């Protein structure tokens, strides 16, 4: 059995601590803060048992992720569609996560619309749950998904972070009806 190397690198960002995770195949995780690292290690051990961890910026530069993320956080409109990603989850989760990339920059969709885009209009709650488990926020823009009434309902990184990401894209008209501690 081949041992997988999990690469990690923390981006320098004044407003948040973003830690990138990758295998040799592509980016597999983007953490909101380093406190999520133990949870991420357990999740990756489930998908890549016996992996070894290595701090290394080079894979992320090779994949083109570090430069584009820094430009995105600096307010520049950039795309992430050609960055190699290794989505580790159930087939349904991967289907939902892949669909997130179809939400255009500067727009928001509801969970219902996302479910409809997948041809699963009756699976709104399941789509919402999968969205909440997205391991690649920003790269697969789960922050662009809002409640049926067009309001913020929750975000694993916190509603303050969701508002910040939406504001970077010029979206400031979304009301906050969720609760900051509500995370999924």
pLDDT in tens, 82-140: 999 999 999 999 999 999 999 999 999 999 999 999 999 999 999 999 999 999 999 99
pLDDT in tens, 59-77: 999 999 999 999 999 999 9
pLDDT in tens, 6-48: 999 998 766 778 999 999 999 999 998 878 889 999 999 999 9
Query: Quick one: pLDDT at residue 36?
Result: 87
Burial degree of 140 (CB within 10 A; 0-12, 13-18, 19+):
buried
Burial degree of 42 (CB within 10 A; 0-12, 13-18, 19+):
exposed
Active-site residue 28, yes or no?
no
Selected catalytic residue, list 85, 114, 142, 161: 142
């Amino acid at each position: 059995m081949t041992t997988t190397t999990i690469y990690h690198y923390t981006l320098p960002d004044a407003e948040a601590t973003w830690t990138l995770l990758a295998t040799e195949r592509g980016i597999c995780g983007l953490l909101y803060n380093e406190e999520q690292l133990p949870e991420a290690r357990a999740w990756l051990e489930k998908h890549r048992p016996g992996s070894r961890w290595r701090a290394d910026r080079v894979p992320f530069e090779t994949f083109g992720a570090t430069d584009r993320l820094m430009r995105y956080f600096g307010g520049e409109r950039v795309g992430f569609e050609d960055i190699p990603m290794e989505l580790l989850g159930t087939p349904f989760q991967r289907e939902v996560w892949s669909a997130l990339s179809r939400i255009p920059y500067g727009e928001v969709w509801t969970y219902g619309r996302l479910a409809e885009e997948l041809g699963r209009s009756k699976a709104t709650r399941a789509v919402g749950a999968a969205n909440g488990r997205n391991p690649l926020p920003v790269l697969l823009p789960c922050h662009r998904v809002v409640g049926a009434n067009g309001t913020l309902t929750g975000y694993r990184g916190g509603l303050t972070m969701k508002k910040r990401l939406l504001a970077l894209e010029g979206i400031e008209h979304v009301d906050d009806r969720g609760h900051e501690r509500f995370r999924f």
